[in-house]
């Protein structure tokens, strides 16, 4: 007697999600080499944005009626509630990133930049695992140390 077993088919990961993840990973390598703390912070933050965008590309944008401009971090909290703490962490750095992009680099110390590079690396690893289909339950949070 033959028994048929159906295994769930995992949907293919959109090419855009893979591209964004790759850009985040490569950008983080660049951020690690950056000497200026303000630019290092901005580069690491951009890598976090790209990694978050990879999740959005993979899971899709939530439907909420009329479309208004919404931050990546708000959207991430909506489509990936398990990453809500990470979204809040990065959202809290938005003003600092804006200041750096406006040329006010004194707001970022070397320590703050280094911390963001490290934490962005942790976030990218979680996104990489999510895209590969691993359980997305972060072993660390943005506020914990490695």
With vertex at residue 52, the alpha carbon angle to CA 50 and CA 85, rounded to the nearest 5 degrees, is 140
Closest residue by Cα to residue 51 from 27, 70, 68, 71: 27
Query: How far is Cα 144 from Cα 146, in angstroms, rounded to an integer?
Result: 7
Residue identified by tokens 């943005």 is: 142
User: Taking the model in full, what pTM does it have?
Assistant: 0.81
Q: What is the pLDDT along the chain (146 residues), one digit of tens a residue?
A: 455 555 455 567 888 999 999 999 999 999 999 999 999 999 999 999 999 999 999 987 665 555 666 789 999 999 999 999 999 999 999 999 999 989 998 889 999 999 999 999 999 999 999 988 744 444 455 655 44
């Amino acid at each position: 007697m033959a028994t048929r077993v159906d295994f769930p088919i995992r949907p293919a990961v959109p090419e855009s999600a893979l591209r964004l993840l790759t850009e985040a990973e490569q950008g983080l390598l660049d951020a690690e080499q950056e000497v200026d703390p303000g630019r290092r912070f901005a580069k690491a933050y951009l890598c976090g944005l790209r990694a978050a965008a990879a999740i959005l590309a993979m899971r899709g944008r939530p439907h909420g009626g009329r479309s208004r401009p919404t931050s990546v971090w708000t959207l991430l909290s909506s489509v990936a509630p398990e990453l809500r703490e990470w979204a809040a962490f990065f959202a809290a750095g938005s003003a600092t990133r804006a200041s750096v992009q406006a040329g006010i680099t004194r707001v970022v110390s070397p320590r703050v930049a280094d911390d963001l590079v490290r934490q962005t690396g942790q976030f990218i690893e979680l996104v990489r695992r999510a895209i590969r289909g691993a359980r997305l339950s972060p072993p660390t949070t943005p506020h914990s140390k490695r």
